[in-house]
């Protein structure tokens, strides 16, 4: 056993930890030393978004002690930043131990003299963002690992605007968390009187806000029988999605029964992620059975939404996140213009790895479209920067996230479900469909196709392998890909864009981030980004071509798919 790892293990065996934890360590020393080493070889990093990791004993796991130490550091930073009464809100999803972690977090905050609003039971992440703003909190926490497998849990930390923290607060909280050297530095109890439960009253405030996002309530009323299938995939969406659809006026909603009960074991899926076809399979089966108009699914903490619709042949297809975002952005832009409620200073926001088709759509309507780093905290940060000067309408990213309106500051699948159903109702009222609308947009603005390739590198060497891969691209970028010259390399870590043909450089006016983008002469964009929450490196491929008519869609789409496949093969990513 490595000396540093053994020292950490010895500290737990001799420290102020529960006897059951020490007994588990002793058993693992005999029966599973490799797993024990992985559990202690590093500290679970409190990153810029908080914690996320496997649950279990050890410094590299999500458990009572890592959560408590993180909360103590966060509490210390809040007390440095704010005078007087400090309030925080805490929520959790359906995952195993999420309630326990939320209560642990509440107890530590409260023991530090901080007023805590703890949701009475599981709630969607976007409602936490709303509650922080509504209650005037200085921060907040939601215990969730989003769409990760059942073995994971996490801890997302928020600031006073209802968004996950950005610079300087994220880095400063990390400094304070790192100062907590021992569980003995944590105030574990003694402030229980500072904890108040919140629930249904906040639900109603949130639902009223979300209802106010509707652009065509008359269409929803006329199309109230729109046949909707919804699955919460065992998650927290069941708490609010049926209610928001009812508020929008839809009364023909069918919930996937097998996935309707919150369950952290996610018994019907491998990955509780609406991006995965397998997770949506039960919903697809029900949608086919009842000949539904639209299928929607949300992840465990209900910040991501996936949708299924029928194509022009009547076959069910699942939209990817870019397609859903294009439809949502275009709907909000078009509908507001048609209703006469658009403003000259309207703006939309997307991330740098999200389809460039949105930029084209926005430009055609003379609406400012800003590109920010991956993560809704950056969309929220831009909203804060532009407040009082520009009017935020909608933001989104390719990973099935949308944020409509500025009353919350994180991705929100609850309001997105409602607005997507309104879109479906609007198209149906015109004798059309969301799929047909998407094809029409491709004809109007060009056919854009995106593919995500994720490579997982597990274990102690995984992070180093990913780092080496990025460094290789950074120091020796390809000159051509699929026979097309690489025109530019955008390095967001160095904040420099370099023209690979002329050697000229230009600054990138965004915060540092370990992302590389290759821009090819034919408009292709390839982005490489290590995940901030998983041992993965992600490659985003975006290609485009002209589409003359709807009838040519399948052939053109196939050609673009073949182009992406050639590039993936050439880059040896599969």
**Assigned domain for 229 exists:** yes
How large a percentage of the chain has pLDDT more than 90?
93
The 10s digit of each residue's pLDDT in 425-453 is: 999 999 999 999 999 999 999 999 999 99
Q: What's the confidence (pLDDT) of residue 464?
A: 84
| pLDDT at res. 280 | 98
Q: What is residue 390's predicted lDDT score, i.e. its pLDDT?
A: 98
Structural domain ending residue among the three candidates 179, 205, 231: 205
* CA distances, 117 to each of 5, 74, 87, 302 (Å): 38, 16, 8, 20
- Asked if residue 192 is part of any domain, the answer here is yes
Task: Tell me the CA end-to-end span of the chain in Å, nearest whole number.
Answer: 34
Same domain, 281 and 412: yes
Q: What pLDDT, on the 0 to 100 scale, is given for residue 58?
A: 96
- 490 with 501, same domain: the answer is yes
Question: At residue 347, what are phi and psi to the nearest 5 degrees?
Answer: -140, 155
* 385, 413, 445 - which closes a domain: 445
Quick check: is 31 in a domain?
A: no
197 and 286 assigned to the same domain: no
Tell me which of 7-21, 221-235, 246-260, 529-543 is least confident. 529-543
- Please count the structural domains in the chain: 3
- What pLDDT score was predicted for residue 459? 66
Give me the pLDDT at residue 532, please.
65
Which comes out higher in pLDDT, residue 119 or 536?
A: 119
User: Is residue 344 situated within a structural domain?
Assistant: yes
Active site residue 527: no
Is the domain of 257 the same as that of 176?
Answer: no
- The answer to whether 510 touches 492, Cβ cutoff 8 Å, is yes
Looking at the structure, tell me whether residues 390 and 297 fall in a common domain: yes
- 226 within domain boundaries: yes
What distances in angstroms separate CA 365 from CA 107, 311, 423, 446, one per listed residue?
50, 27, 19, 15
What's the domain range around 554? 447-570
pLDDT surpasses 70 at 533 = no
CATH number where 87 lies: 3.40.120.10
End of a domain among 160, 175, 205? 205
pLDDT per residue as tens digits for the range 31-72: 999 999 999 999 998 877 889 999 999 999 999 999 999 999
- pLDDT tens by residue, 138-197: 999 999 998 889 999 999 999 999 999 998 999 999 999 999 999 999 999 999 999 999
Q: What is the pLDDT of residues 324-379, one digit of tens each?
A: 999 999 999 999 999 999 999 999 999 999 999 999 999 999 999 999 999 999 99
Is position 36 within any domain?
Answer: no
Q: Which residue out of 129, 146, 302, 433 is catalytically annotated?
A: 146
pLDDT tens figures, 87-119 = 999 999 999 999 999 999 999 999 999 999 999
Same domain flag for 200 and 61: yes
**276, 325, 318: which is closest to 294 by C-alpha?**
318
- Global pTM value: 0.94
């Amino acid at each position: 056993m490595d000396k540093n790892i053994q020292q950490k293990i010895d500290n737990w065996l001799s420290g102020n930890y529960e006897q059951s934890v020490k007994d588990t360590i002793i058993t693992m020393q005999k029966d599973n030393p490799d797993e024990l080493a992985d559990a202690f070889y590093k500290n679970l990093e409190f990153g810029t978004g908080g914690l996320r990791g496997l649950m279990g004993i050890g410094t590299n796991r999500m458990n009572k002690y890592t959560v408590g130490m993180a909360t103590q550091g966060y509490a210390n930073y809040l007390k440095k930043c704010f005078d007087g009464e400090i309030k925080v809100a805490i929520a959790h999803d359906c995952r195993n131990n999420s309630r326990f972690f939320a209560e642990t977090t509440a107890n530590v905050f409260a023991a530090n003299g901080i007023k805590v609003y703890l949701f009475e039971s599981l709630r969607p992440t976007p409602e936490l963002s709303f509650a922080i703003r509504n209650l005037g909190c200085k921060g907040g926490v939601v215990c969730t690992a989003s769409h990760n497998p059942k073995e994971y849990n996490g801890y997302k930390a928020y600031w006073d605007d209802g968004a996950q923290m950005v610079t300087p607060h994220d880095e400063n909280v990390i400094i304070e968390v790192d100062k907590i050297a021992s569980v003995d530095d944590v105030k574990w109890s003694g402030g229980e009187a500072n904890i108040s439960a919140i629930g249904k009253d906040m639900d109603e405030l949130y639902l009223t806000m979300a209802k106010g996002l509707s652009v065509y309530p008359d269409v929803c009323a006329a199309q109230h029988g729109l046949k909707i299938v919804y699955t919460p995939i065992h998650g927290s969406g069941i708490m609010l999605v049926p209610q928001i659809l009812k508020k929008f006026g839809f009364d023909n909603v069918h919930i996937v029964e097998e996935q309707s009960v919150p369950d952290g074991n996610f018994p019907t899926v491998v990955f509780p992620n609406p991006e995965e076809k397998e997770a949506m399979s039960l919903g697809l089966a029900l949608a086919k059975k009842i000949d539904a108009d639209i299928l929607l699914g949300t992840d465990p903490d209900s910040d991501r939404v996936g949708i299924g619709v029928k194509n022009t042949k009547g076959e069910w297809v699942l939209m990817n996140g870019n397609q859903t975002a294009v439809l949502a952005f275009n709907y909000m832009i078009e509908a507001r213009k048609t209703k006469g409620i658009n403003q000259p200073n309207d703006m939309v926001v997307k991330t740098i790895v999200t389809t460039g088709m949105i930029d084209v759509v926005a430009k055609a309507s003379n609406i400012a479209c800003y590109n920010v780093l991956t993560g809704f905290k950056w969309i929220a940060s831009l909203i804060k920067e532009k407040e009082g000067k520009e009017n935020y309408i909608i933001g989104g990213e390719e990973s099935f996230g949308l944020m409509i309106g500025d009353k919350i500051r994180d991705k929100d699948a609850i309001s997105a479900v409602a607005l997507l159903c309104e879109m479906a109702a609007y198209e149906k009222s015109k004798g059309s469909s969301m799929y047909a609308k998407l094809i029409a947009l491709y004809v109007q603005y060009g056919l854009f196709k995106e593919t995500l390739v994720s490579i997982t590198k597990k274990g102690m060497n995984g992070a180093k392998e990913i780092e080496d891969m990025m460094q290789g691209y950074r120091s020796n970028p390809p000159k051509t890909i699929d026979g097309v010259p690489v025109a530019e390399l955008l390095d967001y870590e160095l904040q420099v864009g370099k023209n690979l043909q002329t050697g000229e450089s230009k600054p990138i006016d965004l915060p540092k981030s370990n992302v590389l983008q290759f821009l090819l002469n034919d408009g292709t964009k390839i982005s490489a980004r290590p995940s901030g929450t998983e041992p993965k490196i992600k490659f985003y491929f975006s290609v485009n071509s002209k589409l003359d008519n709807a009838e040519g869609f399948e052939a053109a789409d196939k050609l673009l798919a073949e182009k992406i496949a050639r590039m993936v093969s050439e880059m040896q990513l599969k």
